[in-house]
Every structure is written in C-alpha cells, then in structure tokens.
Amino acid sequence: MELTIDYIFRGIVSVFFTPGGAFFWIPMVMVFSGLLTGIIVGATPGLNGPFAMAIALPVLISVFGTGNEAVLPILGFLIGVMKGATVGGAVPAILFNTPGTPEAYITTLDGYPMTKNGQGLKALKTAHFSSVAGDSCSDMALFIAAPTLAVVIERILNFPEKAALIILSLSFMAAVSGRSVTKGLMTGAFGMLLALIGTTLSGYGARMSFGVTPLGNGIPLTSAILGVLVLGEVFMAIEELVKNRKTNAVLQGSTDSKDNSFGWKDISQLLPTIGRSAAIGTAIGTLPGIGTTLAATLGYETGRNRCKDKIPFGKGNPKGIAATEAANSAVSGANLIPVMSLGIPGNFAAVFLILAVDSVGDFTFGPQVFRFTEIKEIEGYGTIINKELVMAFGIFTLMALGNIFNWSVGRYVIRSLGILARIPKTITPPLVLLITFTAVYAQDGGFIAIWITLLFGLIGYTLRRLDISLLPFVIGFILAPNLEDLIRGGFSASGGDPLFLIKSPLAMIFLTISIIVVFRSFISKKETL
C-alpha cells in the first residue's frame, strides 16, 4: 500500500515540479489550453476533437521536442482537447439543430426543442453538467481498472497470448465497426499490409518499398493517420460543397425567454439518469471499436423507457440531454483502459494519444507500465524506480485536472460559443487543408510526407464513399508492427516452432473467441462469405 501511495504521489508531483524541485506548471497550463481549444473546436461546424488532436500533435512536438520531459505537456494538451471537444459538440446541436456527429444528433432531439421554447441556456447547462459528470465517472473507472487489468495481463500473458489478444481486438473492431464484417476485415488487413512497408525487424533491407528510397524506413505514421482521418474528410466536404453550391444561410437560434436557472433541484432530478448513462457509456467504452454513437443511443433509449415525466423525451425534456451527453462522454475515459493497459486504441482520440507517446520520449502504453517495482536508493546509481508507472499516474493527474477545469471553467465558455455555429462551411475545408499540410511537413519533413498524406487522404475518401468504417484500417495500421514483433518473439522463444500460437491454451481461447465474434457478426448482419 505504501509503495502504491509513493508512486501516486510521485506521479502527481511530476505534473507540477521538475526533478530538480523547480516549479513546472506547463503540463497544467497545457491541459487548460487544450480544454479551451477542444470546446471551441467542438462548437465549430465541420471540426471535431480527433481533427484538433491530429493537427496539434506535430506542432506540439516541434515546440516541446521529443525528450521524456515533453510527454506530459503534449499529452496534457491532447487530453484537454479530447475532453473539451465532447462538451463543445453540444453547442451547435442544442442552439441551432446542427449536429456535427451522430451522437450529437441525439442531443438535438431534446436540446433544440428546449431552445425553441426559450430554454437554450438551461439546455447548455444540462449538457455541460451531464457531460462532465459522465466523463468524471469514466475517468474513475480508468484509474481503478487500467492498473488492475495491466497487472493481471502482465502476470498471465506471454508472446503467444498477447499476439492472440491483438488478433481478438482487430477481429472485434472489424466485426462491430461499420455495416459489413467483410469490409471491416479487408480494410483492417489492408491497413496492416501498408504498415509493413519498409525496413524489416530482422534488418535485411526494405520490403515492399517498390524502389522508393524514402519508403525504406516505412510510412510515416503521422502522415498516414492525418491523411486518412483529416484529408479524407476534407475531400468529402469539398465534394459536398461542389454538389450543393449554395450560400450557407445564417442559422437562427431562439432567444432565451423563459426560466434558465439550473440549481440543485435540477441536478437531483438528473442524477439517476446521469448515473445510469455513465455506467452504460463506461461499459461500452471498455470495448475497443464500438464508439460513442452506440453509447449515446443506448443511454437515450434507456432513459426514455424509464421516463415518467409530463414532458416526454423528444419534446424538450432535460433528461434526454443528460442521458445522451453522460453516456457519450463516459466513453472517452473508459476507452483509455485498453490503451493504457494493453496499448490497443479503441477510438480515434486514443489513436492520437498513442501516436504522441510513440513520437515522444521512451514511454509506451502497455501492461509493463504498471509494474510496482520497489523504489531503491543505490549509491552511484541514484533512484531505481519504474519511471513509466510514475508517468502513468502523471497522466491520471492530467485527466483529473482536465475534469476540474471543465467543471469550473467549461460551463462559462460554452455559453458564449453559439456564434461559432454560424461559420460558413465553405471556410473550413481549405483552412483544414492548409493546416494539415503545414503540420505534416513540419513533423515528417520533406515533400514525400505531403505525397503520402495525399495518398492516404484518397484512401480515406474512398473508404468513406464506399461506406466502410475507417477504424479497422487505422487500428490495423497502428497495431501491425506490435503484432509482428510479438509473433517474431514468440517464434524465437519457442525454438522456431511454427505452431507456437495454437499450443498455448489461453491463446487458443482468444483465437476461438475471435472466430466466434466474426462468425456471429456475419450471421447478425446477414452477410455471405
């Protein structure tokens, strides 16, 4: 117990102080800045949290460098953006009936009727309180579950089991993401194939580089991910603008003319709904690949089935907003449980957190992070300690600070951001395109990075046009090197046994579950092999 408290204390101190004892407030400032940026981005039509994280990452790396001391400031900003964007997304949905995401559409069902009824401000207060409450509950689950899960995994899993677990995660994401399991499996495999371009782990030259010398070191991760997620969306937006060729009308909101107070009586009435939806969102968030839309839908439907108020859901009931926003926000923290304990991302925001730790310092997510090694002072060697565990508790501290800032400042910020929903959609795509190319050029260097970004942008655009989920492709691209490393390690450890993967009982269980998940998804979605 004393050892755990010591690590927690060191993690908290690492956010505010340097090892030398001087004040080091930058991580805290970065969380605050990221939160404000996230709220503004979330309230702007055509933008979202993952986009802001994608653009910010190269800029942050150029400012703070790639040393270990840069990990907490960079992650602090990204965590702030992740939390702020979720809250900010409710602003245009409530005030102007313009949802930017599917889950925000569910918020409009009760948020916009409240606005038309003169209670827009109360609807925003309800959305903010519910969102931050759900996020806080989810973070508490993360703080408890991630270390516990990681310790269990580290003790019982070896190379074959970890490789099989990654295969299970990829199968699960391919099965639940999008409408087609076949498309999910194919795009996941395509992403893994592209990730294997470049130098092999054995060091025998480059593979699949087609004679292109810059590809000898592999495809730059940042360029590829920004291309698929950001440029693909920009191309879709440009296509939509070309089709419409209409002047964007100024959105009209309703002026607040009724009671917009939000006190303890309102909170007490919302707490059961918030608690129920936060539990739903947390449970769904622990499963990689499902996303916030399902959580928001289940939270809303569960709340509607239990509602006995005079005002039904869909007619301006604040509980409808609370049910959606609490479930939606609870996913974000829980999604980091598989990230921190396994190194497996579950959504696009988690993807950029993994990109950050892969690009900066020597900290990596995974079960090895939560080894509670004894702290020793050895003369001539200094303090022997698991620095990654200290960093993990530092990240937990950053998330707690994000919640504190969101509770105290966020509610005042979102009230003044309705004007952002009036920005014409014609402005956003070229601005995003310029920022993306600048960020890629600064991060990966040279025009080859821009060409790769364009190529992956076309891939992202094509997948969207074919109505194929991007998540299996992105996760496959990220996890392929880890999977190859584990398979090579297991093959070597087994003495070159090609059947090493199926000789482990636990690995066989994971592989069997993978087959069952995919097969059941085929049946439920009525696909043919």
Question: Tens digits of per-residue pLDDT, 441-486?
Answer: 766 666 778 888 899 999 989 988 888 888 788 888 888 888 888 8
pLDDT at 168 over 60: yes
For residues 66 and 79, give the distance between their C-alpha atoms in angstroms, rounded to a whole number.
18
Amino acid in the structure at residue 207? R
pLDDT at 17 over 80: no
pLDDT at 174 over 80: no
pLDDT at 34 over 90: yes
For residues 189 and 486, give the distance between their C-alpha atoms in angstroms, rounded to a whole number.
17
pLDDT at 179 over 50: yes
Q: Which residue carries 């009727």 as its tokens?
A: 113
pLDDT at 177 over 60: yes
pLDDT at 182 over 60: yes
Rg (CA), the chain: 23
What's residue 258's pLDDT?
A: 60
pLDDT at 253 over 60: no
For residues 465 and 461, give the distance between their C-alpha atoms in angstroms, rounded to a whole number.
6
Comparison of pLDDT for 65 and 18, the residue scoring more: 65
- Joined together, the tokens standing for residue 447 give 């025009």
pLDDT at 275 over 90: yes
Residues linked to residue 376 through DSSP beta bridges, in sequence order: 384
Residues composing the chain: 529
What's residue 249's pLDDT?
A: 47
313 φ, ψ (degrees, to nearest 5) = -60, 140
Q: Which residue carries 């400031």 as its tokens?
A: 73
Nearest of 102, 98, 97, 92 to residue 39 by alpha carbon: 92
pLDDT at 22 over 50: no
**CA-to-CA separations, 71 to 65, 253, 345, 375, 445, in angstroms, rounded:** 9, 42, 18, 22, 21
pLDDT at 415 over 80: no
For residues 412 and 171, give the distance between their C-alpha atoms in angstroms, rounded to a whole number.
43
**H or E segment at 8?**
helix 2-16
Range 369-380 burial, b when 16+ CB lie within 10 A, else e: bbeeeeeeeeee
Task: Count how many Cα atoms sit within 13 Å of the Cα of residue 262 in the half-sphere of its side chain.
Answer: 18
At residue 376, the 3 state secondary structure works out as strand
Sign of CA dihedral 75, 347, 159, 505: positive
At residue 198, the 3 state secondary structure works out as strand
247 confidence band (pLDDT: 50, 70, 90) = very low
Average pLDDT, integer, range 206-219:
70
- Joined together, the tokens standing for residue 395 give 């990240």
Strands 376-378 and 382-384: antiparallel
Average pLDDT, integer, range 184-212:
74
Contact status, residue 324 vs residue 314, Cβ threshold 8 Å: no
DSSP-H helix ranges across 97-158? 102-116, 120-156
Nearest of 98, 85, 128 to residue 260 by alpha carbon: 128
Average pLDDT, integer, range 225-251:
73
For residues 39 and 81, give the distance between their C-alpha atoms in angstroms, rounded to a whole number.
7
Comparison of pLDDT for 333 and 194, the residue scoring more: 194
At residue 109, the 3 state secondary structure works out as helix
The string of DSSP codes covering 309-346 is SSS-TTSS-HHHHHHHHHHHHHHHHHTHHHHHHHS---
Contact status, residue 316 vs residue 94, Cβ threshold 8 Å: no
Contacts of 474 (CB under 8 A, 6+ apart): 191, 225, 228, 229, 348, 351
Specify burial of residue 415 (Cβ count, 10 A radius: 0-12, 13-18, 19+). middle
For residues 71 and 360, give the distance between their C-alpha atoms in angstroms, rounded to a whole number.
6
What's residue 81's pLDDT?
A: 92
What's residue 404's pLDDT?
A: 92
What's residue 529's pLDDT?
A: 45
Residues linked to residue 384 through DSSP beta bridges, in sequence order: 376
pLDDT above 70: percentage of residues in the chain: 84
**CA-to-CA separations, 236 to 46, 144, 345, in angstroms, rounded:** 11, 40, 25
Average pLDDT, integer, range 295-315:
84
pTM passes above 0.85: no
- Joined together, the tokens standing for residue 247 give 């002047």
What's residue 18's pLDDT?
A: 56
**CA-to-CA separations, 207 to 20, 204, 451, 521, in angstroms, rounded:** 46, 9, 20, 34
